[in-house]
Amino acid sequence: MRVSQTRGSNRKVLVLAGDGIGPEIMRQALRVIEFFDRRHIASFAVTEGLVGGAAYDAAGVPLTDDTLAQAFASDAVLFGAVGGAKWDGLPFDLRPERGILRLRKEMDLFANLRPAGVFDALADASSLKPELVAGLDLMIVRELTGGIYFGEPRGVETHADGSRRGVNTEVYTEAEIERVVRVAFDLARKRRGRVSEVDKANVMESGGLWREVAQRVRDTDYRDVELSFMYADNCAMQLVRNPKQFDVIVTSNLFGDILSDCAAMLTGSLGMLPSASLGSPDAAGQRKALYEPVHGSAPDIAGKDVANPLACILSFAMMLRYSFDMAAEADLVEDAVRHALAAGVRTSDIVQPNTARVSTRVMGDTVLRELEKAA
């Protein structure tokens, strides 16, 4: 583990790059962090640790207690991606994915904000018609510490006759629903004032409870926000039919996972979508927070220097905005990304006619150059 203490900083950031393309994209995000320090705009005390398959190889578990303690001691965690074929045969509790799931659960990061915005230069890169996605600004709030991901009972049981039965359970308490819908209503207030609660209340009792709780919270404390309901299957269809109808979507862990990958393609590529995973505010108003691209470790392109680092860089911008109250600096990073794209520089996932296909590293170079120009 490398520890680089930056001078006089009170912003403690734990960096967990993970597996596959994780270290490649994180290298570019670290350059953005270093830029702020070098230009004396803001300094960050960055500690790097292992997670996922990398932690399993080094320590026999996908997240050590020591790394978890460091996450608790940090102001924010920047996470890359975990997973890969090498570890797919491991028992569930040792798989790389348990590393991120344990971080989310133990830090109680129940609200996962996944914003799907389209940069103008990428309106043509989406698999949808440009007019459907141009100007899109949609926020998915995914519940992140409950539901079928963590519900009991779970497992695979073997019957006397040797046949097996696999079980996972969708469980939500009213309190779990209430705290995440409040996050969605608060966000909607600062946006266009509309929340769509997405579930399968037509077949799942827990979905009915989501509706009841969302309606009660809205009627009690958020009468200025418009609340509507939609079934998750219809939502998947509406996202590709007319995504601009949505402002804020709030939904369960599993539906949020699936719908956010779908929303990612509206923005041009899964490699573009950042996220913030937030806990409840403490007495000082600070939330525990972890920032992570929505995509995974992309084993098919790992080690080739072709992955898109922008989701990871934009996740750092979300950290500036939500953990450090540095909106101007977050804008600086997002503008640098916007200008890099406008200059026609593209990693292979977003390459289009008349643009230059560049490596992960050169995309990082271009963002850095734009930052230097703007600072």
User: How far apart (Å, rounded) are the C-alpha atoms in residues 268 and 125?
Assistant: 5
Work out whether 78 is an interface residue with ligand IPM (CB under 6 A): no
Q: Which of 149, 172, 222, 322 is catalytic?
A: 149
Establish whether 57 is a catalytic residue. no
User: How far apart (Å, rounded) are the C-alpha atoms in residues 233 and 336?
Assistant: 36
Establish whether 331 is a catalytic residue. no
Q: Two tokens at 99?
A: 């590393």
Q: Which of 86, 105, 200, 244 is catalytic?
A: 200
The string of DSSP codes covering 167-203 is E------HHHHHHHHHHHHHHHHTTTSEEEEEE-TTT
Q: Two tokens at 261?
A: 């990958």
Q: Which of the residues 226 through 265 are near ligand IPM (CB under 6 A)? A: 257
Work out whether 161 is an interface residue with ligand NAD (CB under 6 A): no
Closer to ligand IPM by CB, 72 or 92: give it. 92
Work out whether 100 is an interface residue with ligand NAD (CB under 6 A): yes
Residue 107: contacted member of Mn ion, ligand NAD, ligand IPM, none (CB under 5 to 8 Å, by partner type): none
Q: How far apart are the first and last CA of the chain?
A: 32
CB-based burial label for 267 (10 Å; 0-12, 13-18, 19+): buried
Q: Which of 19, 75, 247, 257 is catalytic?
A: 257
User: How far apart (Å, rounded) are the C-alpha atoms in residues 259 and 253?
Assistant: 10
Establish whether 322 is a catalytic residue. no
User: How far apart (Å, rounded) are the C-alpha atoms in residues 103 and 71?
Assistant: 8
Work out whether 170 is an interface residue with ligand IPM (CB under 6 A): no
Contact in structure between 348 and 368 (CB atoms under 8 Å): no
Measured in whole angstroms, the distance separating CA 157 from the mean position of its chain's CA atoms is 33
Closer to ligand NAD by CB, 147 or 271: give it. 271
Spatial CB neighbours of 98, under 8 Å, sequence gap ≥ 6: 62, 63, 92
Q: Which of the residues 117 through 156 are near ligand IPM (CB under 6 A)? A: none
Alpha carbon separation from 346 to 185, 340, 353, 363, 373 (Å, rounded): 35, 8, 10, 7, 19
Measured in whole angstroms, the distance separating CA 305 from the mean position of its chain's CA atoms is 22
Q: Which of 65, 120, 221, 233 is catalytic?
A: 233
Shortest separation between residue 257's beta carbon and Mn ion, angstroms: 4
Work out whether 257 is an interface residue with Mn ion (CB under 5 A): yes
Residue 336 CB neighbours (<10 A): 24
Tell which one of 311, 314, 333, 363 touches ligand NAD (CB under 6 A).
311
Establish whether 149 is a catalytic residue. yes
Q: Which of 37, 108, 261, 331 is catalytic?
A: 261
Tell which one of 51, 138, 294, 333 touches ligand IPM (CB under 6 A).
294
Closer to Mn ion by CB, 261 or 331: give it. 261
User: How far apart (Å, rounded) are the C-alpha atoms in residues 228 and 203?
Assistant: 18
Shortest separation between residue 150's beta carbon and ligand NAD, angstroms: 16
Interface stretch with ligand NAD, choices 212-220, 231-239, 305-313, 336-344 (CB under 6 A): 305-313
Interface stretch with ligand IPM, choices 85-93, 95-103, 121-129, 319-327 (CB under 6 A): 95-103
Work out whether 100 is an interface residue with ligand IPM (CB under 6 A): yes
User: What is the chain's Cα-based Rg?
Assistant: 20
Tell which one of 28, 43, 308, 366 touches ligand NAD (CB under 6 A).
308
Spatial CB neighbours of 212, under 8 Å, sequence gap ≥ 6: none
Work out whether 109 is an interface residue with ligand IPM (CB under 6 A): no
Site string for ligand IPM, 313-352 (x = CB under 6 A): ----------------------------------------
Work out whether 299 is an interface residue with ligand NAD (CB under 6 A): yes
Q: Which of the 8 DSSP states describes residue 156? A: E
Q: Prior bond to 62 cis, omega within 30?
A: no
Residues that bind ligand IPM (CB under 6 A): 83, 97, 100-101, 257, 294, 296
Catalytic residue annotation? 149, 200, 233, 257, 261
Binding region for ligand NAD (CB under 6 A): 21, 25, 81-84, 97, 100, 270-271, 292, 295-301, 307-308, 311, 349
